Amino acid sequence: MSRYKAYILLFLLPLLIGIAFVNLASADPEIDALLDEIDALESELDSLVESKAQTETEKDAATVILNSLSDSIDNVNMDIVDAYNAYMAAANDEERAHIGQVSSLIWKPLGRAWAVNITR
């Protein structure tokens, strides 16, 4: 019978010690304050992760819009070049010289402005 009592004591003793530590820990106000601070930090971390995900989504949307605008600008540029080439093909030599001078006055500054905007 004493062997069974020893087994019961070996099982109950760590259990009682654990219960005592839990009671002591919950009774300490500093530990409660630290646990509350940990909970606040966890909620702040969750909100930061959520904010980062939203920022990434907004960044992806902005990238799609910028790519769309870039494609539209490229299409307009190609239309202008096609129209210019068609007009130059129909024009005589005198008109070509005049058109070339005017277009260089227009396209060179625009090209420089475009290059400056791209490099920023």
**pLDDT digit string, tens, across residues 14-33:** 777 777 666 665 666 777 78
Q: Where are the domains of the chain?
A: 2-119
- Cβ proximity of 102 and 110 under 8 Å: no
111 has a pLDDT exceeding 70: no
Q: What is the pLDDT of residue 33?
A: 80
Checking if the pLDDT of 47 tops 60, the result is yes
Q: What pLDDT, on the 0 to 100 scale, is given for residue 119?
A: 52
Distance set, CA 47 to CA 32, 43, 44, 54, 59 (Å): 23, 6, 5, 10, 18
HEC letters along the chain: CHHHHHHHHHHHHHHHHHHHHHHHHHHCHHHHHHHHHHHHHHHHHHHHHHHHHHHHHHHHHHHHHHHHHHHHHHHHHHHHHHHHHHHHHHCCHHHHHHHHHHHHHHHHHHHHHHHHHHHC
Tell me the residue length of the chain. 120
Is 0.85 surpassed by the pTM of this model?
no
